[in-house]
């Protein structure tokens, strides 16, 4: 393989790894603690913060305008927005922008408020996405979520039609544990703790700083999505009634004061969309409510598979689902008898979309009216088996790291210390060739953390232990190659031949050792769990990166010295002159 080709490959790998690692570096080293705290808040908290801060900034701008002062420094971005408005309205921009001039460009304070709020909202959502793409820290390093779920055994007894026995309870709890394991695994979290606690509770620990709202939507999703027929005439009548009596339609508990305003076989549900923060927001006006049949037309538990795609016309996300045989018969009968009538998709007692039946449908269908994140969550829940017993969150709390920042620092210093000692040994024992090993080691660590970041793996103390072990394994490959080179030099070979034969004759010894290590790591990752799995994953990553740096990068450095720097000797031993 030519040096030019090797150089291109190495440069490409470094560039790709730098891109993978950029999110982690930006999140952990370039983002302030305050911004991290804000970005990790719930969407509701972000909405409150953005609205509150925008209102304060607006008051600051109005005060500056009244005083004839310049635009506040943190609101300079409004000048660009004002220039866009002037360009759109074909108005000449002033030579000097002050607070009063700026305020006059906008139609009113509500428009300014929305622009300022959007600035904060977009910035914090961008930080949220940055955190998702960074390396996640495990529960032992950064804490996480601790959730206790209570099984509703009374509802389960009613569901199966008889009093539950100990065997029934154990079976239901075992099935619930299996479903939760599957859902959290598909969610992409690593090393969760899910175990039964007592007779009817489940304890869940999820490491890192994942969004608690999304986790709850996945854990608590129990196939509660259902399809109901809509009574169009009753819906129109109720919306007209509510529009005329907004304050007296519902009581304090959300029930109808006058149940006769809708048919006896129907219930009224709010129609919801997503606001700019991704939060549920009920529609306003004459389409805020839908009157649907009490009877479930199609239960979400009949859905056996679901996937998210994009509509070919408007590009909006939709959930395509496949039904089991019983669900297919039910849906075909329903749609055949109700062509031209509307049906509603109901999730958590909220109407998310209303569609008109165009033709009879049997085996599959689609759900629309959801955001991208919500579509992914719904598809995930529907792909997982429905929980056999309903679960209720009785306790949820964020827990701090069990070992603390001191332990993180100790682990990092162990990694750095081990790397430094190995480097010093290589430089002393193998002279100038030791520099080659040092470069390979540094690049090895760089690649390992880049892969960790690229696949959003969780970093735990066992993972750090796997990286430290990899350092020793990686330098072992250099030692084998260097010792083969020394043997060739002792036989009178020149630099070029010693390098060529050293790598070729050490190749299979290195590969055999790393292949067997990788097989062991593979079995550990599949059969182990928790800390063992984290150790195995980091070890497997280290095998790949160490082989690449020891055989590919190191060989390039030696060839560069021979062909470009025109080195005639090989400094690899104190006893043998090469």
C-beta atoms surrounding 421 within 10 Å: 11
DSSP secondary structure code for residue 94 in this structure? P
In a domain, 498, yes or no: yes
In a domain, 139, yes or no: no
Domain that holds residue 176: 144-222
Band the pLDDT of 222: cuts 50, 70, 90.
very low
Write down which residue in 386, 421, 439 finishes a domain. 386
The candidate with the shortest Cα–Cα distance to 98, out of 62, 58, 46, is: 62
Structure tokens that stand for 425 in this block: 């040994």
Write down which residue in 352, 386, 420 finishes a domain. 386
Using CA atoms, how far apart are residues 31 and 35, in angstroms rounded to an integer? 6
User: Residues with Cβ < 8 Å from 415, sequence gap 6 or more?
Assistant: 445, 464, 467, 468, 471
Residues 411 and 499 occupy one common structural domain: yes
* 3-state secondary structure (DSSP) of residue 382: helix
Residues 153 and 118 occupy one common structural domain: no
Write down which residue in 80, 107, 134 finishes a domain. 134
Residues 290 and 417 occupy one common structural domain: no
* 3-state secondary structure (DSSP) of residue 457: coil
What average pLDDT score do residues 396-423 get? 71
How distant is the alpha carbon of residue 130 from its chain centre?
10
Tell me how many helices (H) and strands (E) the chain has: 19, 17
Burial class of 319 by CB neighbour count within 10 A (0 to 12, 13 to 18, 19+): buried
Comparison of pLDDT for 459 and 101, the residue scoring more: 101
Residues 191 and 237 occupy one common structural domain: no
The pTM is what? 0.68
Band the pLDDT of 12: cuts 50, 70, 90.
very high
Assign residue 304 the CATH number of its domain.
3.30.1360.200
Average pLDDT in the chain: 82
Q: Cβ(20)–Cβ(98) under 8 Å?
A: no
Band the pLDDT of 39: cuts 50, 70, 90.
confident
Do β-strands 136-137 and 458-459 pair in parallel, antiparallel, or remain unpaired? parallel
Comparison of pLDDT for 576 and 34, the residue scoring more: 34
Ramachandran angles phi, psi of 122, nearest 5°: -65, -40
Query: Residue ranges of the alpha helices (H) in 455-494?
Result: 461-490
CA 438 vs CA 433, 474, 577: distances in Å: 9, 11, 22
Assign residue 434 the CATH number of its domain.
1.20.1640.10
**Percent of the chain whose predicted confidence (pLDDT) is above 90:** 13
The candidate with the shortest Cα–Cα distance to 148, out of 84, 203, 83, is: 203
Of 266-280, 281-295, 329-343, 449-463, which gets the smallest average pLDDT? Answer: 449-463
Query: Residue ranges of the alpha helices (H) in 143-191?
Result: 153-160, 166-187
Residues 261 and 347 occupy one common structural domain: yes
User: Residues with Cβ < 8 Å from 304, sequence gap 6 or more?
Assistant: 322, 323, 324, 327
CA 242 vs CA 246, 258, 267, 288, 461: distances in Å: 5, 11, 14, 9, 59
In a domain, 16, yes or no: no
Residues 437 and 336 occupy one common structural domain: no
In a domain, 58, yes or no: yes
User: Is residue 190 predicted with pLDDT exceeding 50?
Assistant: no
* 3-state secondary structure (DSSP) of residue 577: coil
Assign residue 162 the CATH number of its domain.
3.30.70.3400
Residues 467 and 322 occupy one common structural domain: no
Q: What digits encode the pLDDT tens for the residues 158-183? A: 877 788 888 888 878 887 776 777 66
Comparison of pLDDT for 189 and 501, the residue scoring more: 501
User: Is residue 98 predicted with pLDDT exceeding 80?
Assistant: yes
What average pLDDT score do residues 418-447 get? 85
What average pLDDT score do residues 268-290 get? 84
- What total number of domains does the chain contain? 4
Residues 305 and 451 occupy one common structural domain: no
In a domain, 349, yes or no: yes
Q: Is the Cα dihedral 454, 127, 188, 320 positive or negative?
A: negative
What average pLDDT score do residues 440-453 get? 87
Q: Cβ(486)–Cβ(572) under 8 Å?
A: yes
Using CA atoms, how far apart are residues 489 and 576, in angstroms rounded to an integer? 7
In a domain, 106, yes or no: yes
Residues 274 and 358 occupy one common structural domain: yes
In a domain, 398, yes or no: no
Using CA atoms, how far apart are residues 519 and 525, in angstroms rounded to an integer? 10
Of 12-21, 114-123, 509-518, which gets the smallest average pLDDT? Answer: 509-518
User: Is residue 220 predicted with pLDDT exceeding 90?
Assistant: no
User: Residues with Cβ < 8 Å from 18, sequence gap 6 or more?
Assistant: 450
In a domain, 28, yes or no: no
DSSP secondary structure code for residue 250 in this structure? B
Q: Which helix (H) or strand (E) holds 378?
A: helix 372-383
Residues 261 and 343 occupy one common structural domain: yes
Using CA atoms, how far apart are residues 224 and 221, in angstroms rounded to an integer? 7
Of 66-70, 203-207, 245-249, 513-517, which gets the smallest average pLDDT? Answer: 203-207
Residues 329 and 473 occupy one common structural domain: no
Residues 240 and 317 occupy one common structural domain: yes
Q: What digits encode the pLDDT tens for the residues 231-251? A: 999 999 998 888 888 888 888
């Amino acid at each position: 393989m030519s040096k030019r080709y090797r150089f291109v490959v190495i440069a490409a790998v470094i560039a790709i790894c730098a891109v993978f690692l950029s999110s982690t570096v930006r999140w952990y080293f370039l983002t302030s603690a305050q911004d991290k705290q804000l970005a990790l808040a719930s969407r509701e908290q972000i909405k409150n913060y953005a609205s509150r801060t925008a209102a304060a900034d607006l008051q600051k701008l109005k005060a500056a305008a009244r005083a004839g002062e310049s635009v506040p420094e943190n609101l300079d971005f409004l000048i660009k927005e004002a220039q866009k408005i002037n360009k759109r309205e074909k108005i000449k921009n002033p030579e000097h922008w002050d607070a009063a001039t700026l305020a006059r460009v906008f139609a009113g304070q509500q428009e300014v408020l929305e622009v300022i709020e959007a600035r904060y909202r977009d910035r914090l959502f961008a930080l949220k996405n940055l955190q998702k793409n960074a390396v996640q820290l495990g529960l032992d390093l950064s804490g996480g979520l601790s959730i206790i779920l209570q099984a509703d055994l009374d509802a389960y007894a009613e569901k199966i039609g008889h009093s539950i026995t100990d065997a029934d309870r154990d079976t239901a709890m075992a099935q619930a544990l299996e479903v939760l394991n599957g859902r959290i695994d598909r969610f992409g979290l690593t090393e969760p703790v899910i175990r039964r606690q007592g007779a009817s509770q489940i304890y869940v620990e999820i490491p890192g700083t994942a969004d608690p709202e999304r986790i709850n939507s996945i854990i608590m999703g129990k196939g509660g999505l259902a399809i109901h027929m809509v009574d169009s005439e009753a819906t129109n009548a109720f919306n007209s009634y509510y529009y005329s009596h907004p304050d007296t339609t519902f009581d304090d508990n959300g029930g109808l004061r006058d149940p006769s305003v809708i048919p006896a076989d129907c219930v009224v549900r709010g129609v919801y969309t997503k606001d700019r923060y991704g939060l549920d927001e009920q529609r306003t006006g004459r389409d805020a409510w839908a009157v649907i049949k009490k009877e479930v037309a199609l239960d979400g538990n009949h859905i056996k598979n679901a996937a998210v795609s994009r509509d070919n016309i408007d590009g909006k996300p939709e959930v395509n689902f496949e039904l089991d045989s019983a669900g297919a018969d039910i849906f075909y009968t329903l749609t055949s008898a109700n062509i031209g009538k509307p049906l509603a998709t109901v999730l958590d007692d909220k109407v998310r979309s209303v569609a008109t039946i165009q033709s009879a449908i049997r085996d599959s269908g689609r759900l629309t009216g959801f955001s991208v994140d919500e579509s992914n969550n719904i598809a995930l829940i529907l792909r997982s088996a429905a929980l056999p017993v309903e679960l209720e969150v009785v306790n949820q709390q964020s827990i701090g790291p069990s070992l603390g920042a001191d332990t993180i620092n100790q682990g990092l210093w162990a990694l750095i210390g081990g790397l430094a000692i190995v480097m010093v040994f290589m430089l002393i024992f193998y002279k100038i060739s030791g520099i080659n090993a040092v470069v390979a080691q540094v690049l090895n660590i760089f690649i390992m953390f880049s892969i960790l970041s690229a696949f959003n793996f969780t970093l735990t103390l066992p993972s750090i232990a796997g990286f430290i072990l990899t350092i020793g394994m990686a330098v072992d490959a250099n030692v084998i190659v260097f010792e083969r080179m020394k043997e060739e030099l002792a036989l009178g070979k020149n630099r070029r031949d010693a390098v060529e034969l050293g790598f070729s004759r050490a190749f299979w010894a290195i590969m055999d050792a790393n292949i067997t290590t990788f097989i062991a790591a593979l079995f550990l990752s599949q059969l182990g769990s928790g800390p063992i799995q984290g150790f195995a994953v980091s070890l497997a990553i280290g095998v790949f990166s160490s082989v690449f740096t020891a055989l590919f990068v190191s060989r390039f450095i030696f060839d560069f010295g021979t062909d470009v720097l025109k080195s005639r000797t090989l400094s690899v031993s104190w006893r043998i002159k090469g």
